[in-house]
Structure 1
Amino acid sequence: MAARRFRDRFRRRPWRGRDEDGRTAWTRGRVTAALSLLVALVLLFPSLVPGTPGNVGGLTENFLPWLGVLVVPLLASAALRRSASALTAGGAAAVVWVALFAPSLLPRDPGAHDLTVVQHNVSDENGDPAATARALVGAGPDLLALQELTEGALPLYEAAFRSRYPHHVVVGTVGLWSRHPLTEHAAADIRPAGVPGDWNRGLRAVVRVGPERAVAVYVAHLPSVRIRPAGGFDTRWRDESAGLLGERLAGDASSTVILAGDLNGTTRDRGLAPLTSQLRVPDEDFAFSWPTAFPVARIDQVMARGATVTDIRTLPATGSDHLPVLARIDLENLEDLEEADSEPVARRPYSIR
């Protein structure tokens, strides 16, 4: 009986003329049309979503591609209501999503590259570090940037990497292994105020790629974020740590800088502006790295200055709750860098929230 009433009501909504309530296809479905236009607007300008209450803007930026899921029921509702206005608005939202994200689904040629970097949070609860190490070596990168190294697992990683990556440095729970010599290294203090315990999750090393090329490489693990019933999307410690790292990057005189790390946020997240305002980020795509069981976002990042990340993709799962991320990097010509260094560089301002 209910299904018959629905069919009868559906038939009484013509595409032409007016229905029994006097509405046309262009005046029905105004709420659906408004919601579709809102989705399109947020996709185009996520920064317009306010940060308060609960940092909803930052949460939206981290899961922006998933707004496309809302377009399907909105289009279905528009079709069921035979609403031309809602179909038009829903179609506009679909076009915006396709324009922003569909290119990432197409096969691409990564082009020329000089370095390959694997970034991986190996997890301090990894049940088989040796297997994880073998999988990473099998990817054949030039640099390995790891986070959540534990005292018990570290000797296993060192043993597995020793022959292929003779140069390495470990600071606290982060480490860098390299095929190329490391000419210097030091801890990078990115510890937010109030973080308890022994907390060392940043380092800087200089990698000698060739006789005339040195690359400053940062490895970082920013604090975790939390979604709390009372406070919403809590990113305070992560944002403060990103600000401290941003200050170090701004003061680094190296012509070429690479940052690899678990940043606990996507490149669209406004909380990572201290980093993304200074470094080139790869195109946002569907190389989601977390969580392993059902990846929904790429929070493991590789960014660069004086170089370009030409391609980024995930590798098969290891024993971690993160997927490894492999990035190919094209180093700019030394001549171009020297010309750029001869001119003053205006860095974009950033702030710590």
Structure 2
Amino acid sequence: MLTAGLLVFHRAVPNAVGWVGSLLESFLPWLGLVVLVLFVPALLRRSAVALVALLLPVAAWTYLFGGLLLPGPPVGPRELVVVQHNVSDENADPAATARVLADAGPDLIALEELVPAALPLYERTLARRYPYHAVRGTVGLWSRHPLTDVRLLDIRPPGIPEPWSRGLRAVVRTPHGDVAAYVAHLPSIRIGASGLASAHRDESARLLGRAVAAEELETVILLGDLNSTVDDRGLTPLTSRMNVAERGFALSFPASLPLARIDQVMARSATVRHLRTLPATGSDHLPVAARITLG
């Protein structure tokens, strides 16, 4: 009953001390493991009451996350394929990373943690298939379709000194109409003895949410390393305004043992049909590919 209650009413867990609520929400799907742990003693005790009681957390988990396990729907006529990847500023082979991303055949590729030394390698490797690209600070967008009205997106929270440029906005001239594409890299969070430290991340999410709310184009796609899962209330300024993935867990971090999807694809006036991870690169994140239906 406690597990079911935490799943369904996770927003009731306060953030007042150590951001415990956000910490719980960052790993919320993993509460399903509690059901497996409880299932063993229920069988050993041959307790029908315990087995029936387990239906509560099973139903709660299935309601929240069961849909993510279903296969993606058939490809539609008004779809874009996009890839989101934090390439890591310590990536030893940017060219190989770029080839992995391009081989997925996306229309758009969003990258974070671009460093000056690696940028020319990404540009050269992606140039043939992605003739249009824009870079602002440490984030970039590569596209099969023309890009216009590219500008820096200011999502730097107070307290972080300059230079700090982790956002851009561009208009993508797709065959299905203009789409506003946002690429963002929110500040990292830290987990310590005092709990979750996410104040900078949360403030940056609020600034990004305001920018999306003020966007004049109807259709918006957001790609980024948001350093949070979509269940975390810290992303409410975004998840309250945009659609998240209907299918696919696509756990992306850390690449060696993925525990959470902090690399996100969201959309407004469009539907994120399916998410999947791509093969590992030289980054500590896995790339995430998404199918988006426009209109």
Q: TM-score, normalised by structure 2?
A: 0.95
Q: Secondary structure at the match of 1:73?
A: helix
2:146 to 166, 181, 188: 181
Q: Which of structures 1 and 2 has the bigger CA Rg?
A: 1
C-alpha separation between the residues in 1 aligned to 2:106 and 2:219? Answer: 18
CA contact 2:72–2:247 (8 Å) conserved in 1: no
C-alpha distance after superposition, 1:204-231 (max 9, x if no partner): 0011113x7211110000000110112x
CA distance 1:95–1:228, shift in 2 (3 Å)? same
Counterpart of 2:281?
318
C-alpha separation between the residues in 1 aligned to 2:64 and 2:216? Answer: 34
Counterpart of 1:121?
86
The residue type equivalent to 1:293 in the other structure is S
Counterpart of 2:13?
49
The residue type equivalent to 1:299 in the other structure is I
Q: Secondary structure at the match of 2:101?
A: helix
Counterpart of 1:237?
200
Counterpart of 1:348?
none
C-alpha separation between the residues in 1 aligned to 2:153 and 2:160? Answer: 16
Counterpart of 1:328?
291
1:221-236 aligned at under 5 Å gives the runs 221-230=185-194, 232-236=195-199
1:163-312 aligned at under 5 Å gives the runs 163-210=128-175, 213-230=177-194, 232-283=195-246, 285-312=248-275
1:153 paired with 2:124, answer no
Would you identify which runs of 4 or more consecutive aligned residues in structure 1 move more than 6 Å? Answer: none
Q: CA deviation at 1:77?
A: 2.5
C-alpha distance after superposition, 1:8-62 (max 9, x if no partner): xxxxxxxxxxxxxxxxxxxxxxxxxxxxx01011122221222232111111111
Q: Secondary structure at the match of 2:149?
A: strand
CA distance 1:114–1:94, shift in 2 (3 Å)? closer
C-alpha distance after superposition, 1:172-207 (max 9, x if no partner): 100001111112100000001011241000000011
CA distance 1:217–1:127, shift in 2 (3 Å)? same
Instruction: Tell me which moved more, 212-221 or 238-247.
Output: 212-221
Q: Secondary structure at the match of 2:54?
A: helix
Q: CA deviation at 1:102?
A: 3.5
Q: Secondary structure at the match of 1:183?
A: strand
Structure 1's unaligned 5+ residue stretches are 1-36, 333-353
CA contact 2:248–2:274 (8 Å) conserved in 1: no
The residue type equivalent to 1:162 in the other structure is A
Q: CA deviation at 1:84?
A: 4.0
CA distance 1:221–1:130, shift in 2 (3 Å)? same
CA contact 1:131–1:318 (8 Å) conserved in 2: yes
Q: CA deviation at 1:310?
A: 1.3
Q: How many pairs are equivalent?
A: 294
CA contact 2:71–2:247 (8 Å) conserved in 1: no
Q: CA deviation at 1:89?
A: 1.7
The residue type equivalent to 2:291 in the other structure is R
The residue type equivalent to 1:61 in the other structure is E
Q: CA deviation at 1:99?
A: 4.0
The residue type equivalent to 1:203 in the other structure is L
Bigger share in strand: 2
CA RMSD of aligned residues (A): 1.6
Q: CA deviation at 1:105?
A: 2.6
CA distance 1:257–1:303, shift in 2 (3 Å)? same
CA distance 1:87–1:52, shift in 2 (3 Å)? farther
C-alpha separation between the residues in 1 aligned to 2:122 and 2:34? Answer: 43
CA distance 1:226–1:110, shift in 2 (3 Å)? farther
Counterpart of 1:12?
none
Q: Secondary structure at the match of 2:141?
A: strand
